[in-house]
Amino acid sequence: MQRVKAKKAIIFFVVSISTSVVVWLVNDWRASGIALPDPSDTPEEILRTEIIIEARSPVDGKPLTAGEYAELLTQLQTSPPPKLTPKIREQVFLLRIRKALLQVFPFLNL
């Protein structure tokens, strides 16, 4: 009886170790395949050296050439954005205060 139990214990130990090794190898093999980049993907080093010759307008999103884009940026930097009227500024200020109060006191129904 002791011999049979010892034999079963040894078989169980050998099977569990071999199963663990097989699972570890298969898992490691799949992880190395997943870590590789897509073959059609352009490396970042090449993308960094690429010269961008087209752009989109920050105003309306239309495609522009490089010269038009540079000209638009200089126009935007020289002419400041239009100012808001004092009444609208006051409304925005009050809305910001209301938002801050609601964050501190959520039970208020302002």
Whether residue 110 has pLDDT greater than 70:
no
DSSP state of 84: P
In the prediction, which pLDDT does 33 show? 59
3-state secondary structure 30-46: HHHHHHCCCCCCCCHHH
Boundaries of every domain in the chain = 1-35, 81-110
> What phi and psi values does residue 61 have, to the nearest 5 degrees?
85, 10
What residue has token string 């099977």? 15
Over residues 44-48, mean pLDDT: 83
Round to whole Å and give the CA distance between 46 and 44: 5
> pLDDT for 65-93, tens place per residue?
888 888 888 888 887 767 889 999 999 99
